[in-house]
Amino acid sequence: MCNHISPGPPHLASSPAGLSEGGAETLSLTLFQGAQIIVFPEDGIHGFNFSRLSISGYLETIPDPLTEDWNPCTQPDRHNHTEVLQSLSCMARHHQLYLVANMPDLQPCPLTSHPHLDPSQTPCPPDGRWQFNTDVVFRLVVNGLFLTTGSLAARYHKQNLFFEKEFDTPPRLEVVTFDTPFAGRFGVFTCFDILFHDPTVRLLEKGIRQMIFPTAWMNLLPLLTAVQIQRGVSLGANVTLLAANLRHDSKAMTGSGIFTPSTSLYHHAFHHPGEPEGKLLVLRIPVLDSDWLMVNLPMPQFLPSLPLPPPFNSFMVGDLFFFALLLDSEGQLTLCDGLLCCHLQYQRSTQGGNTELYALGVFCWQSHVCALVQCSGSEVSSCGKGVEEAESRLDYRLEGKFGTRYVYPSLLGSGMVVDGPDRIEKTTDGRVTMEHSGMSVGLVTACLYGRVYDQD
């Protein structure tokens, strides 16, 4: 995984050269460490904050690999104006690995790579072309004793755009996978896609348990930081997630990682002056089989809850949550919002006599959320605000009965440390339990984040 600095303002002439120099150095390090696939971030080649017109110099027409077998490195003359594709292909070929990158794609209207699309059902943009936020995958093929590398293996057009006025939403949903000789099948989706049913859940429903995730993610405390949601999806969906985030400190874009259900390696560099602008993460991980479905395990029973502290409302990540304070050093709470009830057992160890305030929060609408959070101040109105540092260490068991099967557990510690819970249990009736003890740093957030996609 490559977490690197945003290229910043566009400089059209330097794009392919800068890619070749910086990318080649990263790939040399990757090859030296035995990697077989590398993932670069969303917007990592061209940057962001474009208009539809200003990005035009970066657009290349990317053929559909389902209908055309093309190696841009060895067949550069087949398609015009494909300098970036050629550079990426030659990198993959030279270093003999799979390479995933993100770049802008131009397709004429109607899409020549979708011959069965009815143009009357999808109006063409006024300028006569589609412009897509696109992930491209270059492959390695073993033919007997020979290796063929650099061919275009997959192309994915981002479905869920996030204020990207330079791009179009694809006229039809794309669920994209590609096969490798070393780990089987991978699925591909991009950034904001991770919060939506399509294409993420459709990949899961196809049995895909290894995901590629280029992103330019802005951290949103306390529930939606990059490494937090990446870890949560890996745990909750029981998948491997290879997540490459852009580095842009002023926009709080940091946090990449390699996450499996059992282990993780990640990098979060925000507010750490002096660290290098980019970070290469390399990890050897197991190949997962296709059975990602939830398991039915026995569920521990809660003891009767103590009297509930007065609940109150406060906004968290834009939604109005119900909260109840943790008033004692240990105890139990149950808090409900509509049909969702969250249960918490906890034991708190304060460090140095601090008076940090914690609360249990619940929200039930498009998302079903049970969250144990540190408040940013001493007033109840501060609960739900973002904090990065905490001193109090809590042992806890957090449980909810969810109206969705898509529940993503996450645990965020002081200094943006992501930890794996000691235990996660799920049952077919929707109950999810997360337990953890013996934290090495203070607790910022422990969350069970459920998505009810049909309420979007």
The catalytic residue positions are 42, 158, 191
Cβ–Cβ < 8 Å for 169, 161: yes
Give the helix, strand, coil percentages of the chain, each rounded to 5: 15, 35, 50
Dist CA 351 CA 405 (whole Å)? 37
User: Which alpha helices (H) appear in 77-212, and where do they start and end?
Assistant: 83-95, 200-205
DSSP state of 455: G
Tell me the residue ranges of DSSP E strands in 277-386.
279-280, 312-316, 319-325, 330-337, 340-349, 358-364, 367-374
Helix extents (H) in 14-158: 15-32, 83-95
SS3 109: coil
**Residue 336, CA distances (Å) to 32, 289, 318, 400 in order:** 53, 37, 19, 9
- For residue 150, give the amino acid letter: G
CB–CB of 117/107 below 8 Å? no
Cis-peptide into 199, omega within 30 deg: yes
Residue 281: φ, ψ to 5°: -110, 125
Cross-strand bridge partners of residue 112: none
Write out the two tokens for 429.
């009736």
Contact 369, 430 (CB under 8 A): no
